[in-house]
Homo-oligomer: A and B are copies of this chain.
Amino acid sequence: MQSIIGFISDFGLEDTWVGVCHAVVYRACPQARVVDLGHQIPPFDIRKGAAMAVAGVHQLPEAIHLVVVDPGVGGGRRDLCIVTRNGTRLVGPDNGVLVPAALRAGGIDQVYAIEPDKIDFREPSPTFHARDVLAPAAAALACGIDPSSLGVPVDQRTLVPGPFELAHLEGGHMVAEVIESDRFGSLRLSISANELRAHGLWAERIEFGFGHLIINVPLARTFADVAEGEPVALVDSSGWLTLSVRMGDAAERYGVEPGAVARVGIPR
């Protein structure tokens, strides 16, 4: 059985870092396949890395997820392997970047602090744990090593918390954050389809409140359910509730940016 490693980082594609991590994985576990889920995260943007990791585990729950946004590299922060209740495995630094994805993939079951001498084949460089610790750990998992062999158990209450909250109920609304805007200008909010259903918001129309701006749109299956240029809400491929404009750019039209807080509810 071939193991897939989903790889997310803030390395960009202008340097050797991403390719070197691929090579490290293939050398350690030739039958692994590394798929690049995204490396254009702005440098040090833990929030964006965490949002992308949620989309990754939503779509590829059975893959190993290697997530590297790591401003504290070399500074003593822990390298983690998290196993979720659904069996998804995540590898990355202990700075919160893995936490929302772990919560979305069933919640944290076990956590291990990776000990480089257990998995590495050379002394780790203090500036590039991705290459020397995290990628080798992901490769070891891909080749069948049990997570408990990578290091020592960690109490999950000691983890650095995630960079954003999942949505919560407040009165009759859900309060959520805009996690990101995608290439097509769609705004993704921190609410999943299951949460919409659980809180009775899965209706024909849905309302987004950003401060004084109220947007009342159909909750549809797909972009093509509305006319060109019309706004629409849907649960997109990342698993997030999304506010889009068909063939247009919702982020631009509404002037809403990642980090904005939204009240989401049924229109009266």
Contact = CB atoms under 8 A, between A and B. Distances in A.
Interface of A: 2, 4, 6-8, 11-20, 22-23, 26-27, 30, 33, 35-40, 43-44, 52, 55-56, 59-60, 63, 71-76, 125-128, 131, 182-184, 221-225, 234, 236-238, 247
Contact of A60 (B23, B55, B60, B236): B23
Chain A binding site: helix, strand, loop or mixed by DSSP?
loop
Contacts of A27: 2, 4
10 contacts: A2-B27, A2-B30, A6-B19, A15-B238, A19-B36, A20-B60, A22-B33, A23-B59, A44-B247, A74-B225
Contacts of A6: 16, 19, 23
Contacts of A75: 222-225
Copies of this chain: 3
Nearest to A27: B4
B73 A222 contact: yes
Contacts of A55: 15-16
Contacts of A23: 4, 6, 33, 35, 59-60, 63
B2 A224 contact: no
